[in-house]
Amino acid sequence: MKLFFVTGILMMSLSLFGLEVRVLDMKKEQGMDRSFLLKTNVPQVVRLDCQSFIQGLRLGEGSLAQVFLLDPYECESLYLRMRDTLRGGEEHCLEVEDTIRWDRICY
């Protein structure tokens, strides 16, 4: 019983922390106007897709991908913030967990 209790607390405490994704560069995907391949600090392929039917941030590929869905307005706003940050010579940070918790210039 104690083992289950300790395991439960450990799992809850680990889920309190999200993954910080540092966006270093952004390139348009070939043949797409509003879909971008992001160069980041994480090993997975990261895409921001504001063009497809299902819009959002995608970490990984295929069935293993983790998708953070965004409304069209949210996707466009995120793209514009990232673009402005990167044009200013800074990195843009995102914290993701079950959703995109926040995004801002990296400190």
| Residue 10 pLDDT | 42
d(CA 19, CA 93): 10
The answer, yes or no, to whether residue 105 has pLDDT greater than 60, is yes
Average pLDDT over residues 97-106: 95
Tens of pLDDT, residues 39-48: 999 999 999 9
DSSP for 38-63, written as a single string: EEESSSS-EEEESSSSS-EEEESSGG
The answer, yes or no, to whether residue 103 has pLDDT greater than 50, is yes
Q: Are 36 and 23 in contact (CB under 8 A)?
A: no
d(CA 49, CA 40): 15
Tens of pLDDT, residues 55-75: 999 999 998 899 999 999 999
| Residue 7 pLDDT | 43
Tens of pLDDT, residues 26-36: 999 999 999 99
Q: Tell me which residue has tokens 């966006």.
A: 23
| Residue 2 pLDDT | 56
